[in-house]
Amino acid sequence: MRHSVLDLAPVPQGADAAQAIRNSVDLARHAEGWGYHRYWLAEHHNMPGIASAATSVLIGHVAGATRTIRVGAGGIMLPNHAPLAIAEQFGTLATIHPGRIDLGLGRAPGGDLAVARALRRGLGEDRFPEDVVELMSYLGEAEPGAPVAAHPGQGTKVPVWILGSSLYGAQLAAHLGLPYAFASHFAPDALEQAAAIYRDRFQPSAQLDRPHFMLAVNVFAAATDAEGAFLRTSMQQAFARLRTGRPGKLPRPVEDIDAAIGPEMRRMVDHALRVSAVGSPETVQCALAALVARHRPDELIITGQIHDHAARLRSFEIAAEALAGPDARDAA
């Protein structure tokens, strides 16, 4: 079973965006060596703790610094963009890095109403399905007489994915015959229902002949269970601050998470982040194997907001080792 990386290019407290981008390139190079299949970056705006706002630019930078790993968007928030512009951007990326570029599409704005206004998109009717189809037409074979074409883009056939955290994306991905990635790493409530709908209603397409379901999992792996839980407190704090309208750089880990965010907030955060594997290599391997056995994904995508870069590298290395182990293989 393939395993991949989802990177939000986190900006840790005490660092800046330039360091975050260097960290992402370093992680991508290591991930390539550890056997990860894809390296995806996500579009977010107006967030000082995330350095991947110009997602296609960063994808090109990471692809240029690696050799074989697929690099793509997990995802581009299509309501923010004209489909033609995204087709040209990813067509250009695919022309420079043939056979290595993915395009995951999301329906959320990647920011609030102020961001939507600043981007001058996302304020009208919901045209997400129509925009997806239009975008795919620009990446497919040229249609004779078409008034508009993407150059570069036309004929590149960049693989398109639908991303989602609700039943809407599952239905659309199934209807269009596209691979589907579920945001279970932060919004898992509809996970089982969405996976069932996607698999049951899938219609084969020119891109895909059978369903391909990707499960997103948080991993905070370290030498011991206690150290893994300690590393996780950065993400717990960041998520709590985002939910209370106070986004910022990725906090340093703390010894007492209840004291940092309060027990009630912690329960809410841990519920949202419950699709996670936290702890020692043995604990993480068992947790990942259990998730695979329960949800039967075709692919796992691993994410982990960890403040210390060396600890973050080690966590992804442990995850790769766990997914190569016999327990994970047997569960798959």
pLDDT of residue 207: 96
In this model, does residue 329 exceed pLDDT 50?
no
Segment among 153-157, 198-202, 302-306, 325-329 with least mean pLDDT: 325-329
Domains and CATH numbers, the chain: 1-158 (3.20.20.30), 216-298+305-332 (no CATH)
Mean pLDDT calculated for residue range 96-105 = 98
Condensed to tens digits (0 to 9), the pLDDT of residues 225-246 reads 999 999 999 999 999 999 999 9
DSSP state of 165: S
Alpha-helical (H) ranges within 244-325 are: 257-261, 263-272, 281-295, 309-323
Express each pLDDT in 1-56 by its tens digit: 899 999 999 999 999 999 999 999 999 999 999 999 999 999 999 999 999 999 99
- Confidence at residue 126, expressed as pLDDT on a 0 to 100 scale: 79
Answer whether 176's CB lies under 8 Å from 140's CB: no
Q: pLDDT, tens digit, for every residue of 282-317?
A: 999 999 999 999 999 999 999 999 999 999 999 999
Confidence of residue 328 (pLDDT cuts 50, 70, 90): very low
DSSP reduced 3-state for 303: strand
**What is the pairing mode between strands 38-41 and 101-106?**
unpaired
Helices 128-139 and 167-176 cross at an angle (nearest 10°) of: 40
Q: How far apart are CA 325 and CA 89, in angstroms?
A: 38
Task: Write down the mean pLDDT value for the chain.
Answer: 94
**Distance between start and end Cα atoms, the chain:** 7
C-alpha distance from residue 199 to each of 98, 128, 145, 174, 274 (Å): 30, 21, 36, 7, 23
**Residue 113: C-alpha distances to residues 45, 48, 86, 117, 154 (Å):** 11, 17, 21, 6, 33
pLDDT in tens, 125-172: 679 999 999 999 999 998 888 999 999 999 999 999 999 999 999 999
How much is the pTM?
Answer: 0.94
Distances (CA, A) of 33 to 66, 108, 223, 314: 10, 33, 21, 13
**Helices 191-201, 281-295: inter-axial angle, 10-degree rounding:** 50
pLDDT at 120: 67
Tokens 């997806």 found at: 132
Q: Is the pLDDT of residue 331 over 90?
A: no
What number of CA atoms fall less than 13 Å from residue 185's CA on the CB side?
Answer: 28
Q: Is the pLDDT of residue 122 over 60?
A: no
3-class DSSP state for residue 44? coil
DSSP assignment, residue 11? Answer: -
pLDDT-derived band of residue 108, with 50, 70 and 90 as boundaries? confident
pLDDT value of position 142: 86
Task: Give the CA dihedral 186, 117, 125, 55, nearest 10 degrees.
Answer: -50
- pLDDT for the residue 118: 84
Q: Which amino acid is at 253?
A: P
Residue 176 burial (CB count, 10 A): 19
pLDDT score for 114:
81
Quote the pLDDT of residue 327.
46
d(C-alpha 154, C-alpha 150), whole Å:
5
pLDDT at 330: 43
pLDDT at 35: 98
CA angle, residues 279, 280, 286, in degrees to nearest 5: 85
